């Protein structure tokens, strides 16, 4: 009996797939089809797959062409499979020409001509093209524009930036305007990265116009405002998503899953630091820079709230404010108390520290080295170092790419595919609001810069 094996993603199964499977089957007596696992696709940069592994397997099974279906989960598995199943022929479409010649050592390799004019990517794009408008300032806009190119069904359609074109040179191929209304007219959705003080107004205007919103965190500065905007989005069937790209970075996401499996026992402490030195030597904010609590607070609070929830018993904050009126903190430390755990968050735009994340448990701890918010690596450490494990994951586009995929998926499905729960977003805005109210805020001053009092 001649056994043939072939592999693929088989997303939105089409006649190109069917034709390939028919010809593969005709090469022998028994056809094994390897369907790629979601994690494996992500790891090899195939991000936009629409259907789950189970749906894709069901579609391959429904063709009636496969005698056996297996799941492809890791690099190098093909060699294992060929040996294990006693395969004589490996076959795949001609788009992979030459790529699998290394398998000739184990079996015959045949490249079958690919069916012209159809692909899963084309089908995904055809489904609906979401035109995305980018709103705000800075080079991050160009970054998002570039990342859009990796996401099926998403197209960067325009940029709205207040006279900041200088930073955006090279983006003339799409609409660049300083009129928000003009941008809203031309797009289906917006990504907002303007100063947080403008978010509420901009998010509300977009939602009222029927546009989906992906907004940098903090989405707004008051919890009640966030609740109102969420209601508005829900009433209109629109997506309102918090943009914290770290939530979508593979290493970070896997870390959460691992922790849920209890690999370090019960979590007792989460310690997070995020800093970037971005103020002038005299410690004055440059133009409209984001203060520490807005620039770093959301991403630093993310692991705390995702691991320990937002139901803390107490939250105390200490800030070094160098401009009371502008509420500009060069450093803020937040301590959270939970019934069974504590967390400490340190953020700074005017101080520098080790940007690490440490999660301590009753059996061991996880160490994520700086800069933890865009890491591709972490370690699980135990009392006995021989048990330590190092975990590596790919980090394409700092998580932006996956975030955009989730955004488009949420729009298409009409249901949230966000990795950040609304409770987490609400929790973040609650802390930011407490900072701005200043009520329970403890203050410190630099020795070198006397505190500037409120005007
Ligand atoms: N295939 C084919 N003809 C097509 C599309 C795919 O023969 N028009 C073959 C591929 O060469 C591969 C198998 O079908 O052997 C599974 O391909 P897969 O990557 O799942 O499908 P694509 O449509 O190429 O997916 P994408 O657009 O996401 O790359």
Kindly report the three-state secondary structure assignment for every residue of 280-309. CCCCCCCCCCCCHHHHCHHHHHHHHHHHHC
- List, in sequence order, every beta strand (DSSP E) within 89-180: 89-93, 108-112, 130-136, 154-160, 175-177
| Residue 79 burial (C-beta neighbours within 10 Å; 0-12, 13-18, 19+) | middle
The Cβ of residue 389 has, within 10 Å, a number of other Cβ atoms equal to: 13
* Ligand 1 in reach of 92 Cβ (< 6 A): yes
Contact 275 CB / ligand 1 (< 6 Å): no
The CB of 16 under 6 Å from ligand 1? The reply is: yes
Contact at 8 Å (CB) between 33 and 92? no
Tell me how far apart the alpha carbons of residues 137 and 202 are, in angstroms, rounded to a whole number.
Answer: 14
Task: Provide the residue-wise pLDDT of the chain in tens; the chain has 455 residues.
Answer: 999 999 999 999 999 999 999 999 999 999 999 999 988 888 777 888 888 899 999 999 999 999 999 999 988 999 999 999 999 999 999 999 999 999 999 999 999 999 999 999 888 877 778 999 999 988 889 899 999 988 988 999 999 998 756 556 566 678 999 999 999 999 999 999 999 999 999 999 999 999 999 999 999 999 999 999 999 999 999 999 999 999 999 899 999 999 988 999 999 999 999 999 876 555 555 557 899 999 999 999 999 999 999 999 999 999 999 888 788 999 999 999 999 999 999 999 999 999 999 999 999 999 999 999 998 999 999 999 999 999 998 887 788 999 999 999 899 888 888 999 999 999 999 999 999 999 889 999 888 876 665 44
DSSP tag of 1: -
Helix 400-413 with 140-148: angle, nearest 10 deg: 60
What secondary structure, in 3-state letters, does 232-276 show? HHHHCCCCEEEECHHHHCHHHHHHHHHHHCCCCCCEEEEEEEEEC
- Residue 370 burial (10 A CB sphere; 0-12, 13-18, 19+): middle
Atom number, ligand 1, closest to the C-alpha of residue 96: 11
- Determine the 3-state secondary structure of 95 from DSSP: helix
Q: What is the pLDDT of residue 455?
A: 42
- Residue 160 sits at the vertex; the CA angle it makes with 156 and 165, to the nearest 5 degrees, is 100
Q: How far is the CA of 291 from the centre of ligand 1 (A)?
A: 48
Antiparallel, parallel or unpaired: β 189-193 and 130-136: parallel
**Are 206 and 213 spatial neighbours (Cβ–Cβ below 8 Å)?**
yes
| Distance from the alpha carbon of residue 37 to the mean position of ligand 1, in angstroms | 15
Task: Residue 416: name the closest of 193, 157, 242 by CA.
Answer: 242
Query: What digits encode the pLDDT tens for the residues 421-430?
Result: 999 999 999 9
* Token code pair at residue 254: 């896997």
What are the C-alpha distances in Å from 328 to residues 288, 340, 368?
A: 10, 33, 28
115 lines ligand 1 (CB under 6 A): yes
Beta carbons of 424 and 218 less than 8 angstroms apart? no
Q: Which two tokens stand for residue 13?
A: 């199964």
Query: pLDDT tens digits, residue range 233-282?
Result: 999 999 999 999 999 998 999 999 999 889 999 999 999 999 998 765 55
Ligand 1: does its nearest atom lie under 6 Å from the Cβ of 121? yes
The residue to mutate among 7, 12, 20, having the most atoms of ligand 1 within 8 angstroms of its beta carbon, is 20
User: What six digits make up the tokens of 240?
Assistant: 């309102």
Residue nearest to atom 7 of ligand 1 (CA): 114
Distance 253 CA to ligand 1 centre (A): 28
Under DSSP, the state recorded for 164 is -
Q: Identify which of 407, 404, 424, 402 has the alpha carbon closest to the alpha carbon of residue 251.
A: 402
H/E run at residue 32: strand 30-36
Neighbours of 366 (CB within 10 A): 23
CA atoms of 330 and 286, how far apart (whole Å):
12
Residue 120 CB–ligand 1 contact under 6 Å:
yes
Bridge-based pairing of strands 240-243 and 30-36 is unpaired
Atom of ligand 1 at shortest range from CA of 119? 23
Please write down the long-range contacts of 254-258, taking CB distance under 8 Å and 24 or more positions apart.
Answer: 254/391, 254/393, 255/366, 255/368, 255/378, 255/391, 256/303, 256/306, 256/307, 258/366, 258/380, 258/391
Q: What is the helix (H) or strand (E) element at residue 144, kind and residue range?
A: helix 140-148
Pocket of ligand 1 contains residue 161 by CB under 6 Å: no
pTM of the predicted model as reported, rounded to 2 decimal places: 0.83
- Rounded to the nearest angstrom, the distance between the alpha carbon of 99 and the centre of ligand 1 is 14
């Amino acid at each position: 009996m001649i056994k043939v094996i072939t592999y693929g993603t088989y997303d939105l199964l089409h006649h190109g797939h069917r034709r390939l499977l028919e010809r593969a089957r005709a090469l022998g007596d028994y056809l094994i089809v390897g369907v790629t696992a979601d994690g494996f696709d992500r790891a090899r940069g195939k991000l936009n797959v629409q259907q789950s592994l189970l749906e894709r397997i069901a579609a391959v099974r429904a063709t009636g062409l496969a005698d056996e279906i297996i799941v492809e989960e890791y690099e190098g598995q093909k060699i294992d499979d060929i040996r294990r199943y006693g395969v004589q022929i490996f076959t795949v479409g001609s788009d992979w020409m030459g790529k699998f010649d290394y398998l000739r050592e184990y079996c015959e390799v045949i490249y079958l001509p690919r069916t012209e004019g159809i692909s899963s990517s084309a089908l995904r794009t055809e489904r609906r093209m979401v035109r995305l408008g980018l709103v705000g300032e800075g080079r991050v806009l160009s970054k998002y524009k570039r990342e859009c190119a990796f996401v099926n069904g998403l197209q960067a359609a325009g940029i709205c930036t207040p006279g900041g074109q200088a930073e955006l040179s090279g983006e003339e191929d799409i609409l660049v305007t300083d009129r928000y209304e003009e941008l809203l007219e031309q797009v289906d959705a917006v990504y907002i990265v303007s100063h947080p003080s403008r978010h509420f107004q901009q998010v509300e205007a977009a939602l009222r116009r029927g546009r989906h919103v992906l907004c940098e965190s903090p989405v707004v500065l008051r919890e009640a405002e966030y609740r109102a905007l969420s209601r508005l989005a829900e009433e209109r069937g629109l997506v309102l998503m918090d943009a914290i790209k770290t939530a979508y970075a593979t290493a970070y996401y896997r870390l959460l899953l691992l922790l849920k499996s209890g690999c370090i026992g019960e979590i007792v402490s989460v310690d997070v630091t995020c800093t970037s030195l971005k103020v002038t030597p005299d410690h004055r904010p440059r133009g409209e820079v984001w203060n520490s609590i807005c620039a770093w607070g959301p991403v630093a609070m993310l692991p705390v709230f995702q691991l320990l929830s937002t139901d803390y018993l107490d939250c105390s904050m200490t800030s070094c404010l160098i401009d009371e009126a502008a509420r500009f903190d060069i450093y803020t430390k937040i301590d959270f108390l939970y019934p069974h755990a504590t967390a400490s968050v340190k953020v700074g735009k005017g101080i520098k520290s080790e940007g690490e994340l440490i999660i301590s448990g009753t059996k061991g701890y996880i160490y994520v080295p700086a800069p933890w918010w865009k890491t591709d690596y972490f370690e699980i450490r135990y009392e006995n170092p021989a048990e330590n494990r190092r975990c590596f994951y790919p980090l394409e586009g700092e998580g932006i790419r996956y975030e955009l995929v989730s955004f488009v998926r949420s729009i298409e499905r009409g249901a949230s595919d966000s990795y950040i729960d609304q409770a987490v977003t609400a929790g973040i805005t609650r802390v930011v609001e407490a900072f701005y109210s200043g009520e329970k805020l403890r203050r410190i001053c630099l020795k070198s810069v006397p505190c500037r009092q409120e005007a």
